[in-house]
Amino acid sequence: MPLTSWGSYNQIILSNEKTNAEYGIGFACGFYSQQNEAHADSWYLAIGLAEWMDSFPDEQVWYFKDILWLANRNRAVSEHATLQFLSDGNLVLRDGDGSLVWSTGTANKSVVGMKMMKTGNLVLYDTNNKSIWQSFDHPTDTLLPGQKLMRGQKLVASVSNSNLSKGNFNLVVTSRGLDAYYQAEVPLSYCRYPYNEGTSHDVDRIEMESSNGYLSLDILSTEGVLLYTSYQQYRNKTSYMKLDPDGHLRFYDDKSRDQSFDLLADYMNECDYPLSCGSYGLCTNGVCSCLPGFAPTDASNGQSAVECSQINPITCENPSSHFLLPYEDIHYFSYEAAIGNVTDMNSCKEACLKTCSCTVALFRFYDNTSIGDCVLPSPVLSLTKEGKETYKYQSYAFIKMSNDGEIRQGGDANSNARQPERSSSRSVNHSITIIGSTLGALILVGLVFGFFWIVFFGKKKDGEEEGIEDYLDELSGMPVRFTYKELKIATENFQKKLGAGGFGSVFEGNSLTGDKIAVKRLDSLGQGKKEFLAEVKTIGSIHHNSLVRLIGFCAEKLHRLLVYEFMSYGSLDKWIFFQEPFQPPLDWQTRRKIIWDVAKGLAYLHEDCRQRIIHLDIKPQNILLDANLHAKISDFGLSKLIDRDQSQSVTTMRGTPGYMAPELFHSVITEKADVYSFGIVVMEVVCGRKNLDRSQPEGCMHLLPIFMRKAEEHQLMDMVDKSSEDMELHKSEAVEMMKVAIWCLQSNYTRRPSMSMVVKVLEGTVEVEADLDYTIQHPTTMAPIRIEANLENTTTLLRPSLLSAPR
């Protein structure tokens, strides 16, 4: 069909009913042109959000609000192009000259029709109404609710908002999660989207879901296990997630693209993005400037992400005239292109001087300049004085300059013209005298300045170290302090990794006494040494048989490590969800003892500490078992401290899908949030399966609704774990334990018992409340995690550095 356009309106071929009737918005498929000078005759077959135009009452007139999918993204067609739905079932797009541009490849596959679904999915179907081809299987830069992104698939951002062809920012699903990268000669990762890396499951896909006013992004394993999820509240049914041209991953609301939520905001700041300040730009606290010797390419100020160019461009004609200007504490977003055989700083500088195309060399190291990473970026993207690398590495940038020009920073214009040389010997001698006098004076000034520098700043540094030592002396009751070298030896250079998560990796080690220990090496700390030590003191002062014990710590230079007792039998989930071959299921007495241990540990945290500690992430993965199957609570990375005179607190969303209390959606927490999570754990331990298990058939994925229905029908015996004969013999006791779980799972948190009350029930001194509510308000598919959205800035998020115990 020929293409036509009504100015800014585009021709719609297929549309569904208005998904958002209030605003006259729905999904549509048609031809789109930006109709600007640069793309005057550039048309795309597109799916997008379209808005109904009431100004044309007698015609179906829509216009695209946003483009969500493109068929011919890298090859626009002219206005004389045709789209044909052929009799063999193939959908074909040809340009005006008849050349094939795109097709669905569905010839001779029994396709009889196509339709635009209300989900935004374009579907070609057969006589049985079975989908043969769908646009959801071929994503571009957007993910819609109900759409999946499988392992190996990726979203690719557009070049810009005015150029819809493929840009350099990519988001790909890997076996370990989501990897956002910038496509250069070597893909340069700038963000790996997190989930619990301690799990043994590989990522299979991500899914978008929408329900009850929330939009979620779920990361799922091959077995259907939900590994991680993020959420955002939305107002309308046509919200979506898009990888934008600036590399940001955002949730959008269909009413206004100005209302968006940055999905990576908790893990990255603006300066972490590869093009935050353009090429050769320096990002500092979100403000852009140019590197020394560079200036903005246009006349605008340095506050925006303008391109920077070298004031005195270097050439390859006379490389001996080049030198490197060192710039300390300059970080780069990726070292994936590091030169493998260049590991020391001097070799890195030499490599840049010998490479004609090198304009900037970057070198990062942990604590020794002879062991590090060297990268000679090409192209050179944005650099930063801050960001996620700042607290892990020390870093230098070496900027190649020419001796022919003066160093100027940020584009300051200074004349670098030379005076013509004089040929007379008098002039030469006079020049030598002046140079000699000047050099002598400079050396003298340098010596004097150096003396005072050493005296003043040397004392200041010594004073700072003495201050830290004095501070340590004041902190009585601190755990054992280890040196980094001691822990390196204890773990045999961090050789045996037990797991990862909770903002660091855990390694097995041996203490001087020969006892096994678990050493957690923390990453990306954003706090000072005193704050870290104060938090270590807080958790180090907590002692209970049902809490994993913090033995010691290391706070040396940039190193932050925690030393815990070793829990030989690992986490509880491996015993109730993923049993090893020939591993017998836990018997009733062991399960009861584990539940009792956890209850006592939580009661201690809530009621017996100077400040109440709310754990906020109680789940089987955070319950560790020792050699006697004694359970201990671990991983305090999300915990919140509340003063005794506070009854509740407002906080950011935090927790794990399937274990979070409903009231956390309103961002108000009490210790009853832990009680709810404990109820879920009890249910899982007794039933022998996960609360949220996507490997189960449809309708059975969520255990809690089934559990409550059986309770209301007085058929809880049907829920007892059938894999254990011993559990079958203790069904009546197991049912009584299930009633404890139901009490803990009341949707109204004021009706839940305290953990000390739970302990009394388990001891047999108190009865479970009789009048229980079985209509649980459970956010089954929308459990939020670690992502802050539309919340008041009245919270204090406890830094995750300290309290994370080994997984």
Average pLDDT over residues 344-352: 95
Percent of the chain past pLDDT 70, that is, above it, reads: 71
Cα-Cα-Cα-Cα torsion 123, 127, 128, 132, nearest 10 degrees, comes to: -40
CA atoms within 13 A on the CB side of 157: 21
Q: Is the dihedral of CA 700, 710, 616, 504 positive or negative?
A: negative
Residue 290 CB: number of other CB atoms within 10 A? 27
What pLDDT sits at residue 236? Answer: 59
Reported as type and span, the H/E element at residue 742 is helix 731-744
3-class SS letters over 743-778:
HHCCCCHHHCCCHHHHHHHHHCCCCCCCCCCCCCCC
Nearest-angstrom CA–CA distance, 356 and 132: 53
Window from 107-116, 385-394, 484-493, 616-625 with minimum mean pLDDT: 385-394
Burial 541-565 (b: 16+ CB within 10 A, else e): ebebebbbbbbbbbbbeebbbbbbb
Residue 391 CA from chain centroid, whole number: 17
Q: Mind giving me the DSSP string for 460-481?
A: HHHHHHHHHHHHHHHSTTPPEE
Full-model pTM: 0.59
What pLDDT sits at residue 368? Answer: 82
Answer whether 551's CB lies under 8 Å from 482's CB: no
Answer whether 18's CB lies under 8 Å from 65's CB: no
Nearest-angstrom CA–CA distance, 370 and 388: 23
Q: What is the CA radius of gyration of the chain?
A: 32
Is 617 in the active site?
A: yes
Residues pairing with 533 in the sheet: none
Is the pLDDT reported for residue 490 higher than 90? yes
Percent of the chain past pLDDT 90, that is, above it, reads: 40
Average pLDDT over residues 352-373: 90
Residue 356 CA from chain centroid, whole number: 37
What pLDDT sits at residue 634? Answer: 87
What pLDDT sits at residue 503? Answer: 60
464 contact partners, CB below 8 Å, separation of at least 6:
none
pLDDT band at 437 (very low <50, low <70, confident <90, very high): low
In the DSSP assignment, the letter for residue 316 is S
Answer whether 672's CB lies under 8 Å from 662's CB: no
Residues pairing with 510 in the sheet: 516
Per-residue pLDDT tens digits for 642-683: 655 554 444 444 567 688 888 876 666 789 999 999 999 999
Nearest-angstrom CA–CA distance, 378 and 361: 10
What pLDDT sits at residue 432? Answer: 42
Is the pLDDT reported for residue 428 higher than 90? no
Which residues of the chain are in CATH 3.30.200.20 domains? 477-565
Per-residue pLDDT tens digits for 786-799: 322 232 222 223 23
What pLDDT sits at residue 301? Answer: 42
Question: How do 148-150 and 203-211 pair as beta strands?
Answer: antiparallel
User: Which is more confidently placed, 667 or 382?
Assistant: 382
3-class SS letters over 389-429:
CCCCCEEEEEEEEECCCCCCECCCCCCCCCCCCCCCHHHHH
Exposed/middle/buried for residue 760 (C-beta within 10 Å: 0-12, 13-18, 19+): middle
Nearest-angstrom CA–CA distance, 256 and 49: 11
Choose among 274, 265, 268, 99: nearest CA to 181.
Answer: 274
Q: To 5 degrees, how large is the angle CA 599–CA 603–CA 606? A: 140
Q: Distance of CA 310 to CAs 74, 281, 359, 407, 707, Å? A: 32, 11, 9, 10, 68
What pLDDT sits at residue 305? Answer: 59
Average pLDDT over residues 189-211: 74
Q: Distance of CA 9 to CAs 6, 63, 67, 165, 735, Å? A: 5, 5, 13, 21, 64
Nearest-angstrom CA–CA distance, 154 and 144: 14
Per-residue pLDDT tens digits for 63-114: 678 899 999 999 999 989 999 999 999 999 999 999 999 999 999 999 999 9
pLDDT band at 51 (very low <50, low <70, confident <90, very high): confident
Q: Is 520 labelled a binding residue?
A: yes
Average pLDDT over residues 366-380: 89
Class of domain 570-763 as given by CATH:
mainly alpha
What pLDDT sits at residue 21? Answer: 47
Average pLDDT over residues 37-66: 70
In the DSSP assignment, the letter for residue 431 is H
Class of domain 11-135 as given by CATH:
mainly beta
Average pLDDT over residues 407-427: 37
User: Which is more confidently placed, 737 or 538?
Assistant: 737
369 contact partners, CB below 8 Å, separation of at least 6:
344, 345, 363
Choose among 344, 330, 485: nearest CA to 394.
Answer: 330
Longest pairwise C-alpha distance within the chain: 112
Average pLDDT across the chain, whole number? 78
What pLDDT sits at residue 445? Answer: 53
Residue 85 CB: number of other CB atoms within 10 A? 16
Per-residue pLDDT tens digits for 440-462: 555 555 555 555 544 444 444 44
Reported as type and span, the H/E element at residue 166 is strand 166-174
Average pLDDT over residues 47-76: 76
3-class SS letters over 39-58:
HCCCEEEEEEEEEECCCCCC
Is the pLDDT reported for residue 302 higher than 70? no
For 739, list phi and psi in degrees, rounded to 5: -65, -35
Which residues of the chain are in CATH 1.10.510.10 domains? 570-763
Residue 108 CA from chain centroid, whole number: 44
Q: To 5 degrees, how large is the angle CA 516–CA 521–CA 522? A: 145
Which stretch, 410-414, 577-581, 621-625, has highest mean pLDDT?
Answer: 621-625
Per-residue pLDDT tens digits for 246-286: 999 998 875 555 567 888 877 788 888 999 999 999 998 88
Answer whether 659's CB lies under 8 Å from 691's CB: yes
Catalytic one of 617, 674, 693, 721: 617
Q: Which CATH architecture has domain 477-565?
A: 2-Layer Sandwich (3.30)
pLDDT band at 198 (very low <50, low <70, confident <90, very high): low
265 contact partners, CB below 8 Å, separation of at least 6:
787, 788
What pLDDT sits at residue 55? Answer: 52
What contacts 24+ positions apart, CB below 8 Å, involve 145-148? 145/119, 145/208, 145/209, 145/210, 145/215, 145/239, 145/240, 146/119, 146/121, 146/207, 146/208, 146/209, 146/210, 147/119, 147/121, 147/207, 147/208, 148/205, 148/206, 148/207, 148/208
CA atoms within 13 A on the CB side of 668: 8
What pLDDT sits at residue 411? Answer: 40
Choose among 215, 158, 153, 142: nearest CA to 178.
Answer: 153
Nearest-angstrom CA–CA distance, 122 and 240: 16
Per-residue pLDDT tens digits for 749-772: 999 999 999 999 999 999 999 889
Answer whether 749's CB lies under 8 Å from 676's CB: yes
Query: Is 440 in a helix, a strand, or coil?
Result: helix
Q: Which CATH architecture has domain 142-262?
A: Orthogonal Prism (2.90)
Window from 11-25, 528-542, 581-595 with minimum mean pLDDT: 11-25
Cα-Cα-Cα-Cα torsion 666, 671, 674, 679, nearest 10 degrees, comes to: -100
pLDDT band at 200 (very low <50, low <70, confident <90, very high): low
Helix spans in 475-558 (H): 484-490, 529-540
In the DSSP assignment, the letter for residue 434 is H
Per-residue pLDDT tens digits for 227-249: 777 766 665 567 889 999 999 99
- Reading the block at residue 355, the tokens are 């490479």
Which residues of the chain are in CATH 2.90.10.10 domains? 11-135, 142-262
Nearest-angstrom CA–CA distance, 233 and 569: 40
User: Which is more confidently placed, 465 or 397?
Assistant: 397
What pLDDT sits at residue 81? Answer: 92
Choose among 636, 679, 687: nearest CA to 803.
Answer: 636
Per-residue pLDDT tens digits for 695-707: 777 678 789 989 9
What pLDDT sits at residue 385? Answer: 82
Query: Is 798 in a helix, a strand, or coil?
Result: coil
Nearest-angstrom CA–CA distance, 126 and 111: 4
Answer whether 591's CB lies under 8 Å from 723's CB: no
What pLDDT sits at residue 346? Answer: 95
Answer whether 613's CB lies under 8 Å from 602's CB: no
Answer whether 217's CB lies under 8 Å from 250's CB: no
Nearest-angstrom CA–CA distance, 657 and 692: 8
Burial 722-752 (b: 16+ CB within 10 A, else e): eebeebeebeeebbebbbbbbbbbbeebeeb
